[in-house]
Chains A and B, each alone.
Chain A
Amino acid sequence: MKKYAIFWGCMIPQRLPSVEIATRKVFEKLGLEIVEMEGYSCCPDPIVGRYMDRKTALAISARNLAIAEKKGLDTVVLCNGCYETLWEAREDLEDKEQRKEVNSVLSKIGRTYEGKNKVRHIVEVLGDDIGVSEIKKLVKNPIKAKLAVHYGCHLFRASEGEDMWRKPNQLTDLVAATGAQINRSKLDQICCGFPTSHVNEEYSMNSNLMPKMEAYQQMGTEGVVVCCPACNVQMEIGQMSLKKYGKKYSMPVFHLMELLALSFGVPPKELSLGVHRSPVQQLAERMV
């Protein structure tokens, strides 16, 4: 049985536990084993990590990476923010001087980071290691809905020479494999507004989220699939905040793992979809 060290991050256990439930069910169906990263902490958030003391941020990231490294496994993330932070930290820590400095901090807690493991997004793992055709074979309840795919900015982070569309295209292919009809448009690439919401919520709502929601509605989109819990929360809480500006939307937004679990035949009730702040439960019951 193939093993993967899953980095759950903060958003999934705290705000969207349904994504964790769905991931465990999907891994079970795929015959994969989840190895827990005991004692992990926040990645930290790319916005915070980049703008606070860089050395502190790198030490926190290195500590997290060291947990998976000790188990001899790559770190698999379910969140674009975690992907960006850990990916960036791994790149920075290729530099021997920086790694030495970080290790002098980690030595105080008896840990060390050697830079042996990789950081991989769940989209890559499913696309490269499992394959869309294998996913298709497991689909029991083809999804009957028109869905939009929101990639999330950090999914575009690519290594040198890598096509930035590789992972976003894999995400689209995975959604298509569930049988869902995909509403493609230029706005799939546009940010949900989560980074700027840290600074100016009103600006973030008006410049990013509202035009996106407006366009989704006009296109007849029934739901939005994301592969990042931060985008998910931003789109759900954002819809509630937009009521202040007289805009009412009720667009279900949910994670790729939840979509896969539903298509693999997991009953919606087993996924605790009620934790969502958008009508995901209602859509789930309708589309399978």
Chain B
Amino acid sequence: MKIEDISQQRVLIYDPERCTGCKCCEMACANRNFGTLELDKSHIRIFVDPKNFDREAINCLHCANPVCLNACPVDAISKDDETGWVTLNQMKCIGCCSCTYACPLMAAWFEEDRRAANKCNFCDGSPNCARFCSPQAIRVGTRAEAMELAKRLYLGGK
């Protein structure tokens, strides 16, 4: 079944007002995808401003029209017709880093060990980062819900 309405695609929703900056999501991601707790291996990154304690997350938004996919010269990145999730096949990747530069969030990143890019794969529908977030600052919801929250947070509810 093809996802007809892109606003109904399931994405990660991050609410900085709920976040405590504990980085359990980063550990959960690294553990699931690499079997390690190394924070550098996480597909999601949380930044805490040391001056005013504002929080922000960098994570893949599984875009409607992904720039990383369009930038890849070897079609290593694909967008699933049914779920809308954007995934990267490391067996095809040639490590040119086009995706990491093309993505405005740098959600795709270059993995030194494997000499290939890597990115969020949405944990087959049950993201570990959302599962282990105590204040539920990260949750799974529709893109429409994510847009609504973004408008409230960054455009003052307009």
A positions within 8 Å CB-CB of B: 47, 50-51, 84, 153-154, 156-158, 164, 186-187, 189-191, 193, 195-196, 198-200, 203, 207-208, 210-211, 214-215
Contacts and interface: CB of A to CB of B under 8 A. Distances in A.
Given A153-B134, A158-B136, A211-B51, 13 more contacts: A84-B134, A153-B20, A156-B18, A156-B136, A164-B18, A186-B52, A190-B20, A193-B22, A196-B23, A203-B39, A211-B48, A211-B53, A215-B53
Contact of B22 (A50, A158, A196, A200): A196
B24 A153 contact: yes
What 4 pairs between A and B have smallest CB-CB spacing? A156-B135, A191-B22, A211-B50, A153-B20
Interface in B19-68: 20-24, 27-28, 31, 37-39, 48, 50-53
Contacts of B20: 153, 156, 189-191
Interface residues of B, number: 21
A195 B27 contact: yes
B28 A50 contact: yes
A22 to B, nearest CB: 25
A188 to B, nearest CB: 9
A169 to B, nearest CB: 14
B132 interface: yes
B18 A190 contact: no
Nearest to B49: A211
B27 A47 contact: yes
Contacts of B51: 211
Most buried by A among B21, B31, B132: B21
Nearest to B54: A186
A135 B70 CA distance: 63
Contacts of B50: 207, 210-211, 214
B37 A198 contact: yes
A215 to B, nearest CB: 8
Contacts of A157: 134-135
A168 B31 CA distance: 29
Given A196-B27, A208-B21, A50 B132 contact: yes
Interface string B77-94: 000000000000000000
B30 to A, nearest CB: 9
Contacts of A186: 52-53
